[in-house]
Structure 1
Amino acid sequence: KFVAQNEEETKEQVVQVAEAKPAKNNGKASAAKKTSAKEAKDTKGRKKSECIQPKASENDPNKKNSTALVASYLELLSKYPITTLEDPFSDKDDLGLILLKEKLDLEALKASGQIQNEESLDLQLSPVGGDTRCRLQVAGNQCCQSPADLDKFDEQKTLNTLTLTLSKGRTVTGCIELAKKARSLGWGIQVAAEYPETHETFAANLAVGLGAGQFKIGGLFGMEYTAKLNELLRIASENADHLSTDGCPSWIGSSFRASSM
C-alpha cells in the first residue's frame, strides 16, 4: 500500500502502483491517500476551510471547505484505483464525513442503475481486502481515539477502518480491546507506527499479533522504517512451518480485511 499526502503525490504514486509487481501480492498493489486535514480559521477564529497542506498561505488552493474536499476526493476516485482515505477531514468535521458518505452512496446507486438519467462518475472502486461490503476504506486516525469514537462513527456509517497505534490503546491489552471492538463492528484495522518513527520494531509485532492485515509505516528510505519491515521478515522466517498454500504467512495477502485475531 502506497500512501500519498497531497494531490500531486497521489497522481505520481498511483502511476508507480500501476507499474509495481510485488512478488507476494498476486501482482497487485493498492494506493491510499492520507490527508490529515486540519481546520483553517479566519481572523475571528471561525472555521473557514480545511487545510490539506501544512503551512498553506491564505490564498493557497490547498485550503478547501468540506464540499470542495469531497469533490476533490470523488475526482481522484474516478481516475485512480485508491482503496483507502485516511482522515479525509479535520478531526471535528463530522459533517464532512457524512457528506462524503452521501455522495459515495449516490454514486453507488447511479452505478447500479437504481438512479437513472443522471451521469455517474464511474468511480474506480472494487471490494477491498476480501470484504465485499467495503469498496473504499475510510480510516480514522486522529479522529478515532477511543471505543466511544468507534461507536459514533459506526452509527454514522462514515468510517469503516481503524488506524491503531500503541498510544491509543495505552497498553497491549488496550490495543487488543480496541481491535476486538473494531472487528465486532465489521471494521478493518491498520496498525501504524508512532510519529516520529524510531528504530523500535514493536509495531510490527503488534500488527502480526493482532492479525491486522495492514501495517502503515513511512517507506523504504530510512532505517527506522526498514527495521520494521525486517522484523516482519524475521517473524515470517521463524514461522515458515505455518505458511498458507501460496507460500505466504497467514497474516498477509489480499484478504486483509478478513484477518482474524
Structure 2
Amino acid sequence: MATITKVHAREILDSRGNPTVEVELTTADGTFRADVPSGASTGENEAMEIRDGGSRYLGKGVATAVDNVISTIGPAIMGMDAQDVAALDKVMLDLDGTPNKGKLGANAILGVSMAACRAGAAHRKEPLYVFLNRLAGSPTMVMPVPCFNCINGGVHAGNYLPFQEFFLIPLGASSFKEAMQLGSETYHTLKGLLKKKYGLDSTAVGDEGGFAPRIDSPEEALKLLVEAIDAAGYTGKIMIGSDPASSETYDKASGKYNLDFKKPEGEQTPASIKSGDELVSYWVEMASKYPIVLLEDPADENDFESHAKLTARLGGAVEIVGDDLYCTNPAIVERGISCKATNAMLLKVNQIGTISEAIAAYKLCVDQEWGVFVSHRSGETEDSFIADLTVALGTGHLKTGAPCRSERLCKYNQLLRIEEDLGSNAIFAGKDFRKSGRF
C-alpha cells in the first residue's frame, strides 16, 4: 500500500493572480503535490469552488477550502492507500454530501484526487500517464493534437469580438513535436500580421496567450487564421476550431443570441440578433467557407435543441463539443447522448471535481464513439497533470492555450517529454483526433 501519512494544503496564486488551492499528500514514497485550476467562463452546472468572500483578495481567497483539506478531508483519508483513487474520491464525496461539492468545495476535493494519482504512480514506480491509463482502463496511450487558442474575444478579451476562442489545429503534423513547431511558427506569423494590420497593441496576449485584435467579426478572425496559416506555409496541414462560448451571447429574456452584446446599445445592429436556427445556419455557412473541424459550445449551455440541429447538419465533418453544456458531468452527458446534442465532450477536471468522475464521463463518451477534448482553464498553474491525463485516456486532442505563457507551455513541454519517453511506441492522433479512446 501507498499509505497516506500526511495531508497538507496551502493557498497559492494562479496565472491570473487569484488564489487557488495547492495540496500535498505524503506517503512513504515522498510528498506529492497538485495545484487546482480555475475558470472565468464557467457553466452553471459546474462543481462549486469554495471562495472566502469578504475583502481579502477581493473575496477570492481560498483559506476555507484549504482548511477543509487539512481539517476535514485529511483525517478521513489518513491511512488509506493512495493507489485506490476511486475509494479516496468516494470518501470525499460522502464527506461533502452535496450534488455540486458545495460543502467542501471542488477545489479542495480535486487537489487531493490529483495528488493521490501522483502518489499512486510513484509507489508503482511508473510515470503518471501510465498510472492514469491503468486507472481508466483505456486501451491505448496516444499523443494528442494540440489546439492553440490564438485569437480571443468574449469575456477573455477587451475587444468587441463576441466569440471567445479561435484555434489553430495542426492535424497534418506527423508527431506531437512537429505539431508544436507548426503551431508556434504560425502563431508568430499571426503576430506579425496583426501588428501590420491593427498595430502593436493588438499583439498583447490574454489569459491563455492568445491575441485580442481590434476586430468585432468572427469571420474576420477566421480569415486572419487562414491568412497566417497560408503565410506560414502550412495550408492543408493546419485546420481551424472555435469555442464561441455562446452562453455569453445568449439573452434569456428574448431567447436570442446577440453577437453585438459587447458593444454599446447604440452601436448594435439588427443583423447581430439571431435565433437558435439562425445561429445554426451561420455556423454551417462558416464551415463551408473556412477549414473548420471543431466547434465548442456553439449554442447556449441549456440549448440542447440548437446543438442537436447543428450536430445533425455538420457532425460528419465537424466535431461539435459540449463544454458548459455538460460540465464533465456524467448525468448531463447522458442527456446529451439521448438527444444527440453533440458528438463530443470537453473534459475539464475541475468542472466535476474528482478524477474518478472525470474518467466516468470519458467512458460514457467512448462507449458512444464520441470525441473527448481535454482542456485547461483560463486561471491555470504550473501543474501539468492534464498533459499526462490526455495521453493516458487517448483523447486525441487537447487545448491548453497558445504556445505562449509558462502555465500553458508546461503542459505542452510535458507532452514533448512523454512523446520522447514513449519513443517508437508513440502514436500521434493527427487526422484521427476524434477517435478518443478508440485508437
* Shorter-normalised TM range: 0.7 to 0.9
Letter in 2 for 1:255: D
* Matches of 2:372 and 2:430, distance apart in 1: 14
Which residue does the alignment assign to 1:78? 288
Distance, in Å, in 2 between the alignment partners of 1:20 and 1:228 is 24
Question: Take 2:360 and 2:256, find their aligned partners in 1: how far apart are those partners?
Answer: 35
Q: Which amino acid counterpart does residue 253 of structure 2 have in structure 1? A: R
Which amino acid letter does the alignment assign opposite residue 258 of structure 1? Answer: K
Alignment partner, residue 35 of structure 1: 244
* Residue 80 of structure 1: how far off its partner (Å): 1.0
Deviations 1:95-131 (A, max 9, x none): 32234345x17xxxxxxxxxxxxxxxxxxxxxxxxxx
- Confirm whether residue 9 of structure 1 aligns to residue 211 of structure 2: no
Looking at structure 2, the residues matched to 237 and 71 of structure 1 have their Cα atoms a distance apart, in angstroms, of 43
**Residue equivalent to 1:68:** 278
Matched ranges for 1:112-123 at <5 A? none
Structure 2 counterpart of 1:64, which letter?
Answer: K
Cα separation, 2, equivalents of 1:89 and 1:193? 21
Distance (whole Å) between structure 2 residues aligned to residue 251 and residue 175 of structure 1: 23
1:24-63 CA-partner distances (Å, limit 9, x unpaired): xxx722211110012543xxx6234224466344353554
Answer yes or no: is the 8 Å Cα contact 2:330–2:357 preserved in 1: no
Q: Distance in 1 between matches of 2:436 and 2:428?
A: 7
- Classify the secondary structure of the residue corresponding to 1:46: coil
Q: 1:155 to 1:19 in 2, by over 3 A?
A: farther
**In structure 1, how many angstroms separate the alpha carbons of the residues matched to 2:354 and 2:371?**
20
Alpha-carbon contact 2:345-2:371 (below 8 Å) kept = yes
- Structure 1 counterpart of 2:390, from 207, 210, 213: 207
Whether the 8 Å contact between 1:35 and 1:87 is mirrored in structure 2 is yes
Cα RMSD, aligned residues only:
2.6
TM-score normalised by L of structure 2: 0.46
Asked if the contact 1:2–1:32 (Cα under 8 Å) also holds between the matched residues in 2, the reply is no
State the AA in 1 paired with 2:321: A
Distance 2:332 2:308 in 1: 15
CA, structure 1 residues 251+19, in 2 after alignment: closer, same or farther (shift >3 Å)?
A: same
Percent identity of the aligned residues? 27
The aligned counterpart of 1:160 is 343
Counterpart amino acid of residue 90 in structure 1: D
Whole-angstrom CA distance in 2 between matches of 1:255 and 1:98: 23
The secondary structure found in structure 1 opposite 2:286 is helix
Q: Is the 8 A contact 2:309 2:341 kept in 1?
A: no
- Structure 1 unaligned residues grouped into runs of 5+: 106-132, 243-248
Question: Is the CA contact 1:37–1:52 (under 8 Å) kept in the aligned structure 2?
Answer: no
What displacement does 1:174 show?
1.7
User: Whose radius of gyration is greater, 1 or 2?
Assistant: 2
Displaced runs of 4 or more, over 6 A: none
Tell whether 2:231 aligns with 1:231. Answer: no
Matching of residue 140 in structure 1 with residue 350 in structure 2: no
Per the normalisation by structure 1, the TM-score is: 0.74
Query: Aligned residue for 2:256?
Result: 49
Q: Kindly indicate whether the alpha-carbon contact (under 8 Å) linking 1:140 and 1:162 is maintained by their aligned counterparts in 2.
A: yes
The count of residues paired between Structure 1 and Structure 2 equals: 221
Residue 21 (structure 1) shift? 5.7
Of 365, 369, 373, 1:182 maps to 365
Flag the 1:21–1:228 CA change in 2: closer, same or farther, 3 A.
Answer: farther
Instruction: Pick closer, same or farther for the CA change 1:93–1:206 going to 2, 3 Å.
Output: same
SS at match of 2:414: helix
In the alignment, the residues of structure 1 paired with residue 260 and residue 390 of structure 2 have an alpha-carbon distance, to the nearest angstrom, of 29
C-alpha offsets along residues 192-217 of structure 1, whole Å, 9 cap, x if unaligned? 01232232211111111111111111
Give the Cα–Cα distance (whole angstroms) in 1 for the partners of residues 405 and 356 of structure 2: 30
Per-residue deviation, residues 130-150 of structure 1 (Å, max 9, x unmatched): xxx842111000111222222
The Cα shift of 1:258 comes to 2.5
Q: What is the alpha-carbon distance in structure 2 between the residues aligned to residue 193 and residue 78 of structure 1?
A: 29
Provide the C-alpha distance between the structure 2 equivalents of 1:53 and 1:193, rounded to a whole number of angstroms: 27
CA distance in 2, matches of 1:54, 1:217: 26
Aligned to 2:303: 93
Secondary structure in structure 1 of the residue aligned to 2:242: strand
Q: Which secondary structure does the structure 2 equivalent of 1:89 belong to?
A: coil
Helix, strand or coil: the match of 2:401? coil
What's the secondary structure of 1:32's corresponding residue?
Answer: strand
> Structure 1's 259 and 153: CA in aligned 2 closer, same or farther, altered over 3 A?
closer
Look up the equivalent residue of 1:253 and give its one-letter code: G
**Bigger relative contact order, structure 1 or 2, given CA contacts below 8 A and separation 6+?**
2
